[in-house]
Amino acid sequence: MKAEVHHHNIEEHFVFSDTAKKSIFTVLVVGIILFVIGLALLAFGGDAHSHDSHALANNGSDFVTVSESHGHDHAHAYHWTNRLKVTLWHNSVFFIGLTVIGIFFTAIQYAAHAGWSALLKRVPEAFGSFLPYAAVLLIASFAWGYHEIFHWTDASLTDPNSPNYDPIIAGKKGFLNMPFYIARMFIFLIGWYAFYYFLRKHSLAEDLEGGTHRFWKMKVISTLFIIFFAITSSVAAWDWVMSIDTHWFSTMFGWYNFASWFVAGLAAITLAVLYLKDAGYLKAINESHLHDLGKFVFAFSIFWTYIWFGQFLLIYYANIPEETIYFVERLRSDQYAKFIFINLFLNFFFPFLALMTRDAKRKAVILKIVCYAVIIGHWLDFYLMITPGTLKEHGGLGFLEIGLALIYSAMFAYVVAQTLTKAPLIAKNHPMLQESLHHHI
Amino acid sequence: MAMEKDKHYLIGVFSDHDDLLHGIEDMRAKGVKIYEVYSPYPVHGLEHALGYKRSWMPRAAFAFGALGTTLAITMQVYMMAIDWPMIIGGKSYLAVPDFVPVSFEMTVLLAAFGMVGTFLVVRDLKPYKVPRIFDIRATDDKHIVAVDLAANSLSEEQITALFKEAHAEEVYRRDFEEDDKSTSFISYAVDLFTNGVTRSSRIPTHR
């Protein structure tokens, strides 16, 4: 009888309302305006500023030159478009992370036989639909900016007869070479999309057919995806982010990137669920579901901190120059040092304290504030991974970066919302839907 | 030999946990104060049916954890920077990042120990405690509801009727004689030392 009471609630179809479209377009327009202002400032007035910061950065640290002591700086004359290329790459990497975490979240629900999330599973599932767009943006920004972003792509570095020859980079040539790198990039993107395609196909077929047959298929696909993603997320982190600081490496880096992506993705899923609830959808989602999402964000903020700190402490304690250079470039730089502390505050102290109590995890307002903080925090985290190694003292965080992030967010939200309209908002034949409807903790 | 201190309880026995939950809700709605419910497995929603407030124990956990952090930081700062300053790995005396793992572990340790201790004290669990077992079937397949007659204004007959209304399979009265002097830790220790037995051997074995 109880099931029937709920039954009329679960037939929900998301309509992409004009109000929602308007807010997304507002974000897009604001983003474009900021982006254009940023571009104009860079193209016509950025020079004086960059000279100032150059002097400041050099005052701050004598160590920065260690990584550049091979004398191949001339290949990297700074041009204002470098900053555009780097910020395009930064946003592409960050947003492809959010997208693929949507697929990953769906996969772990199936692999773990999680029942509580059955009601909201269409939301992370829809995140995956941004993957083709994110992939195109990623490939395009790589094609345009690879030379400025990835130092190792300079062929003269691995040529023993060249004055630029760099034995360290030459030693990494077996892995860091163009054909293999591009092949890997395509394996990741096509592989992730293939898993998304089949998960989505079975999920939609389940709506029509019912039964548990599709569920078991999705469980197998999910398990395989988790294995695939465990490897590819790490290698993608080395390729797309760590290889920027080509001489440097950290064995924690794959996990570190994954943790950053995952908690940002969880925050984005929570935000999407909260906004759908605000718009009158997902009526059956109760405080207990929000509590579980809140626990996810809380727990993985701590997980990220653990990984971040694990990487930092080992490098700090061992004090080996070729490792410490990574933190010297950031902590001893006037431009970047402040972001390290903002990063730790937004991604650890704030979510840790704000979401600690049970009541906080059950309140939509607090969850929303924390989720925004976590998403901004992890965007900054990727900024800190990518910008110092590429732009050095020329880096900045201004209209250009913020504008582009808003443009990406608007595109992401638009594509995800569009996908949500294409299928019932609640998978009514999910075998564990009743568990989710009666979820109570 | 009935004494003023003796306790009189009315015991209701349930087999089905849905009957139990609805029965408890009905009885509480009709003004019965329930002393305690014993069940062989965790019944979801039981605390809610009994009207329990949220536990304050998480706050105790936070306090113990914060105490652990404070002690760990104080200890490390005192040892590493004040009492016997040492340079390790070329770092300054106050190498704060190095203190984080120890502070974290101390936080977890004190929170865990503190919570075990708090739980033992709050639930009055001690080795020489003679537990009051209302019905041994609570460890098997029955849910046992105990109602303290002294704490209720309703008569025994009224409560029995309400129990029956709530589909209790069995309702009976159970009296406990109270010891004149409750066992202290010292008498427990003396007992243990001289006889090598504990008072737990005196657990009543009714039913």
> What digits encode the pLDDT tens for the residues A410-438?
999 999 999 999 999 999 899 999 999 99
Give residue A4's pLDDT band: very low, low, confident or very high (50, 70, 90): very low
Helix, strand, coil proportions of chain A in percent (round to 5)?
A: 80, 0, 20
- For chain B, the domain total comes to 2
Q: Is residue A67 part of a domain?
A: no
- For chain A, the domain total comes to 1
Domain boundary among B122, B141, B175: B122
Name the minimum distance, in Å, from the CA of B174 to any CA of chain A: 35
> Residues B100-140: pLDDT tens digits?
999 999 999 999 999 999 998 888 787 777 778 889 999 99
- Whether the per-residue pLDDT at A393 is higher than 60: the answer is yes
Domain identity same for B41 and B137: yes
CB contact under 8 A, B97 and A312: yes
Question: Among partner residues B62, B91, B100, which is closest to A309 by beta-carbon distance?
Answer: B100
State residue B179's pLDDT score. Answer: 61
> Residues B5-40: pLDDT tens digits?
678 899 999 999 899 999 999 999 999 999 999 999
Contacts of A317 in chain B (CB under 8 A): 89, 97-98
State residue B90's pLDDT score. Answer: 83
Domain identity same for B46 and B140: yes
Sort residue B95 into left (φ over 0), alpha (ψ -120 to 50) or beta. Answer: beta
Domain boundary among B69, B104, B122: B122
Q: Is residue A337 part of a domain?
A: yes
Question: Among partner residues B45, B54, B89, which is closest to A317 by beta-carbon distance?
Answer: B89
Q: What is the CA radius of gyration of chain A?
A: 23
pTM of structure: 0.86
State residue B143's pLDDT score. Answer: 94
Q: Is residue B1 part of a domain?
A: no
Q: Is residue A422 part of a domain?
A: yes
Q: Is residue A287 part of a domain?
A: yes
- Whether the per-residue pLDDT at B153 is higher than 80: the answer is yes
Question: Among partner residues A312, A319, A358, which is closest to B89 by beta-carbon distance?
Answer: A319
Q: Is residue A115 part of a domain?
A: yes
Domain identity same for B186 and B135: yes
Best CA proximity match to A391, nearest among A330, A342, A311, A315:
A330
Domain that holds residue B108: 57-122
Count chain A–chain B contacts defined by CB atoms under 8 A.
Answer: 21
Best CA proximity match to B72, nearest among B97, B48, B96, B106:
B106
Q: What average pLDDT does the segment A117-142 reach?
A: 96
- Whether the per-residue pLDDT at A2 is higher than 70: the answer is no
Q: Quote the mean pLDDT of chain A.
A: 90
State residue B79's pLDDT score. Answer: 93
Comparing A186-200, A346-360, A381-395, B85-99, the range with the smallest average pLDDT is: B85-99
C-alpha distances out from residue B133 to A269, A392, B20, B182, Å? 49, 73, 19, 17
Percentage of chain B surpassing pLDDT 90?
Answer: 54
Q: What is the DSSP string of chain B?
A: ---TT-EEEEEEEES-HHHHHHHHHHHHHTTPPP-EEE-SSPPTTHHHHHTPPPPSHHHHHHHHHHHHHHHHHHHHHIIIIIIS----TT--SS-HHHHHHHHHHHHHHHHHHHHHHHHHHHTT--TT-----S-GGGGTT-EEEEEEGGG-SS-HHHHHHHHHHTT-SEEEEEEEPPPSSPPPHHHHHHHHHHHS--GGGG-----
> How many whole angstroms separate alpha carbon A424 and alpha carbon A287?
22
Comparing A97-111, A127-141, A142-156, A217-231, the range with the smallest average pLDDT is: A142-156
Tell the residue number behind the tokens 């609830």, with chain if given: A277
Domain that holds residue A143: 84-149+184-433
- Whether the per-residue pLDDT at A402 is higher than 60: the answer is yes
Name the minimum distance, in Å, from the CA of B105 to any CA of chain A: 13
Q: Is residue A161 part of a domain?
A: no
> How many whole angstroms separate alpha carbon A110 and alpha carbon A118?
9
Burial of B198 (0-12, 13-18, 19+ CB in 10 A): middle
Contacts of A310 in chain B (CB under 8 A): none
- Whether the per-residue pLDDT at B89 is higher than 70: the answer is yes
State residue B147's pLDDT score. Answer: 93
Which 84-113 residues of chain B touch chain A by CB within 8 A?
Answer: 89-91, 97-98, 100-101
Task: Please check whether residue B11 is in contact with residue B132, taking contact to mean a CB–CB distance below 8 angstroms.
Answer: no
Residues 6 or more apart whose CB falls under 8 angstroms from that of A36 comprise: A403
- Whether the per-residue pLDDT at B2 is higher than 60: the answer is no
State residue A407's pLDDT score. Answer: 97
Q: Is residue A371 part of a domain?
A: yes
User: Per the structure block, which two tokens stand in for A321?
Assistant: 């120059």
- Whether the per-residue pLDDT at B180 is higher than 60: the answer is no
Sort residue B180 into left (φ over 0), alpha (ψ -120 to 50) or beta. Answer: alpha
Domain identity same for B197 and B185: yes
State residue A394's pLDDT score. Answer: 87
> Residues A33-85: pLDDT tens digits?
999 999 999 888 755 444 444 444 444 444 444 444 444 444 457 888 999 99
Q: What average pLDDT does the segment A282-310 reach?
A: 95
Residues of A with CB under 8 A from a CB of B: 309, 312-313, 316-319, 356-358, 440
Q: Is residue A212 part of a domain?
A: yes
Residues 6 or more apart whose CB falls under 8 angstroms from that of B129 comprise: B200
For A353, the closest chain B residue by CA position comes to B62
Domain identity same for B107 and B159: no
Residues written for chain B: 207
State ipTM.
0.77
Residues written for chain A: 441
State residue A150's pLDDT score. Answer: 94
Give residue B199's pLDDT band: very low, low, confident or very high (50, 70, 90): low
CB contact under 8 A, B98 and A313: yes
Domain boundary among B69, B97, B122: B122
Give residue B197's pLDDT band: very low, low, confident or very high (50, 70, 90): low
